[in-house]
Chain A
Amino acid sequence: MFFSMLSEAWHAMGANRLRTFLTMLGMVIGVGAVVLMMAIGQGAQQAIKKSIDSMGSNLFIVLSGSSNSLGTRTGSGNAATLNINDAYAVADLTDVLMVAPINTGNAQIVYSGNNWNTSVIGTTPNYFNIRNWNVDEGYAFTDSDIRSATRVALIGKTVAENLFSDEIDPVGKTIRIKNNPFIILGVLERKGQSLDGRDQDDTVIVPITTAQRKVFGNQIPGSVRMVMAQAKSEKVMSIAEDSINGLLRQRHNIRESMDNDFSVRNLTAMANTAAETTKTMSMLLGAIASISLLVGGIGIMNIMLVSVTERTREIGIRMAIGAREKDILLQFLLEACAISIVGCMIGVLLGLGGAYMIEKAFGLEIVVSTNSILLAFSVAASVGVFFGFYPASKAAKLNPIEALRYQ
C-alpha cells in the first residue's frame, strides 16, 4: 500500500516536471543555504576553539605591578613586585593545578651567518603542560635545567625556519642569545596564530633561571614579570582567582585600603567571549538561511493546493472506488514530502559543494557535521509534512459527488 502510494507520488511528480523542479528548487536553495551557512559558522567556531586550545585552558595570568619613577608610570609587568616564590606559593593553592613563572623580552639570536630578532621566554617545564605545547623534534628541558641554569633552548618553528636552512637539523646546534651560547634541545610543534594574531611560533624558550642571569639580567634576583596559573577545572576558576588575589595580597603585605601591586587576568573569559560571539554569528547565519527554507515550504504548499484543485476529479474517482479519507491524505502528504526530501538531498549536495568551493577559494575553515545534514533532513521532512498537510487534508475532505462532477 505504502509503496504503491510512493510510486504514485513519483508518477505525479513526473507528470509536470518543470513545476515539480521549480517547487523543489525552493527546498534546494533553502537546504543548501542552511548546510553552507552552518558549515561556515561551525568552521569559524572550530577556528576559535583551536586558538583557545592553543592558548591553554582555564588560564590565569598574574602580572607584576607598574613602577613609578619620578612620576612616569610604566605599564603592568614592569615593576619587580612578583618573584619566583610567589609563583610557587600560588602553585600550592588547592584550586590551582600548576603554575609557570615567566620572564619575557626580545633578543637578537645568531646562528652562524643568520640572525633573527625574536621574543625570548624564560620559564619552567610546566609552561609546556599549561599551554599544551609539545616538542616536535628533540625534547624539553627539565627541572634540573632550572636548578643548574643550563644554557639550553627550545625554538619555535618560525625561528627554526629563519635561522636554519632546510637541510640542517636545529636540534643539538648552538645558537647565541645576547652573545651567550645556548644548545638547542628541541623544536616546538607549530601553534599558529594566537587570538590577537601574533605568531606564536616566533619564540625561543629557555629555563627561567638562565634567562634571568644571561639574557635579561634582572636587577632583583628571582623577580618574574608574570606567572601563568592553570586552575583545576573551569568550575573553580572564580574561586581560584579570589584565592590567588588573597594569597598575593597577604604575601605582599597589602593593606585593605591599598590597591594590588599585581593584576590577575582571566584568559579563559576572553576566549569564552570570542567563542560566544562566533556561536551567535553562526546561529544568526543559520536563522537567515532557514528563512529561505520557510519560503521553500510555502512554495510546496502553494503547488500542492494547485495540484489538489487540478486533480479534484481524480480524487473523486479514487473515493468512489474505495479510497478512505486517510488514503487520500497520505497520498498528497507523501507527494509533498517526496518533493521536499528530494529537494533536500539535492540541497545538501549543493551545500557541500558550495562549502568545498568556499574552502578552496577563500581558505576559510569549513566544518560540515553530520548533525547539520541530519538537521536539514529532518527540517525538510517536517516542512513537507507541515506545508503538505493543509492541501492534503483539503483533498481528503472533498465531497466525492462534487469531486466527480468537477470538470
Chain B
Amino acid sequence: MSKNVIDIKGLYKNYNTAAGVFPVLKDVNLKVDEGDYLAIMGPSGSGKSTFMNILGCLDLPTQGEYFLDGEHVTQLNGNQLAHLRNKTIGFVFQGFNLLSRSSLLENVGLPLVYSSQTKEDRNKKSQNLLEKVGLGQYLHSRPNQISGGQQQRVAIARALVNEPRIILADEPTGNLDSKTSEEIMNLFDSLNQEGITIILVTHENDIAAHASRQVRFLDGRIVEDSRHKEFKVKSKKVSAE
C-alpha cells in the first residue's frame, strides 16, 4: 500500500464577506497517494481554486485537518508554510507567472534563492532543467522573448528545481492552444512517470483524461472521484518502487 502524500479530513473554508459568512468548501475529504495523477474539475465557483490554494499552503482552512507529506499543515507557522511551498510543492500557474526582468536561468533558479543555495548550484540545476524541458538554447533570454508554451515549460522547470514531491498546476494549459497544450500535458505525463505526484485543475475533459484520477467539485463538495483504468496500472507501478 502506498503512502498518502496528501490527507485531508473534514475540510471547511468560509469567506467572510460584507453579506456575511460565505462557505466555499464544505466537508472535503481527500487522500492522494504518492505518484498519483489527479485532475480536479468543476464549474466556476465550485471551490476548486480555493481548494488548490489550501493544497498549496497559500491559504489555511477554516476547519479540518490537512496533512502534507506527514506535516500537519494547519498547525504550521508562516515560515514553515513557506518552507513547504519551497521544498515539497512546485507551482505551475495558468498565467506562467515568470519574472519578466530576469533571464530564464534566473527564473528557474529563484526557488533555490529561498533555500539558500549558491549561485553556481542554482545555475547548474536550472540549466539542467531547462535542457530537460527543451529550452537549453534560451538560458539567458527573457520570458517575453519566447512563446507561451515555452514560458510554461520554464514555469514547469522552476516548479521542479527544488525536487518537490508534488506539482500543483492551476489550469496550466488555459492560455495555450491545443497543440501546445498537448505538449505540456505530455511533459506532465512523463514527470508523473518519474514518480512525481501531480494535481492539476482543468475545465477540459481531454486534459483531464491525461490524469489517472478525476475529482469533480460542485458547490464546495467533492461529488465524483473516479480512477481511469489505463493510468491506474502506471501509478501502481510507481508506488511499488
Contacts and interface: CB of A to CB of B under 8 A. Distances in A.
Interface stretch (B16-24, B113-121, B132-140, B198-206): B113-121
Contacts of A327: 82, 114
B116 A1 contact: yes
B70 to A, nearest CB: 18
Most buried by B among A5, A313, A314, A322: A322
A322 B58 contact: no
A4 interface: yes
Contacts of A314: 99
Given A1-B116, A11-B101, A321 B58 contact: no
A394 interface: no
Contacts of B93: 320, 404
Contact of A322 (B101, B111, B119): B111
A404 B97 contact: yes
A319 interface: yes
Most buried by B among A313, A317, A318, A327: A317
B119 A321 contact: no
A4 B117 CA distance: 10
Nearest to A321: B111
B102 A11 contact: yes
B153 interface: no
Contacts of B58: 319-320, 400-401, 404
B97 A322 contact: no
A317 B113 contact: no
B83 A322 contact: yes
Interface in A378-402: 400-401
B163 to A, nearest CB: 13
A interface, how many residues as a size bin? 20 to 34
A360 interface: no
A22 B87 CA distance: 40
Interface in B92-125: 93, 97-99, 101-102, 110-111, 113-116, 119, 122
Given A1-B116, A401-B59, A321 B86 contact: yes
A12 B102 CA distance: 10
A322 B164 CA distance: 12
Given A11-B101, A404-B97, A321 B53 contact: no
A193 B140 CA distance: 69
A323 B82 contact: yes
A324 interface: yes
B85 interface: yes
A316 B170 CA distance: 15
B210 interface: no
B220 interface: no
A320 B119 CA distance: 21
B91 interface: yes
B97 A401 contact: no
A74 B113 CA distance: 88
B82 A319 contact: yes
A319 to B, nearest CB: 7
Contact of B91 (A12, A320, A323, A326): A320
A105 B115 CA distance: 86
Contacts of B98: 317
A18 interface: no
A321 B99 CA distance: 12
B interface, how many residues as a size bin? 20 to 34
B48 interface: no
A15 interface: yes
Contacts of B79: 324-326
B213 interface: no
Contact of A320 (B85, B99, B101, B113): B85
Given A11-B102, A317-B99, A319-B82, A324 B114 contact: yes
Nearest to B79: A324
A401 B78 CA distance: 14
Contacts of B97: 313, 316-317, 320, 404
A325 B158 contact: no
Contact of B158 (A319, A321, A326): A321
Nearest to A15: B101
B47 interface: no
A106 to B, nearest CB: 80
Nearest to A3: B119
Nearest to B56: A320
Nearest to A7: B119
Interface in B127-163: 158, 162
Contacts of A322: 82-83, 85-87, 111, 114-115, 162
Interface in A1-43: 1, 3-5, 11-12, 15
Given A400-B58, A404-B93, A321 B85 contact: yes
Contact of B113 (A1, A15, A401): A1
Most buried by A among B53, B97, B98, B102: B97
Most buried by A among B56, B101, B119: B101
Contacts of B78: 324-325
A12 B100 CA distance: 11
A15 B99 CA distance: 12
20 contacts: A1-B113, A1-B116, A5-B113, A15-B101, A314-B99, A316-B97, A317-B98, A318-B114, A320-B56, A320-B58, A320-B97, A321-B85, A321-B86, A321-B158, A322-B86, A322-B114, A322-B162, A323-B82, A327-B114, A404-B58
Given A320-B93, A322-B83, A323-B114, 19 more contacts: A3-B119, A4-B122, A316-B97, A317-B97, A317-B98, A317-B99, A318-B114, A320-B56, A320-B91, A321-B114, A321-B158, A322-B85, A322-B111, A322-B162, A323-B82, A324-B78, A324-B114, A327-B114, A401-B53
Interface of A: 1, 3-5, 11-12, 15, 313-314, 316-327, 400-401, 404
For the complex of A and B, list the 3 residue pairs with the smallest distance between their C-beta atoms, beginning with the closest.
A322-B86, A324-B82, A322-B114
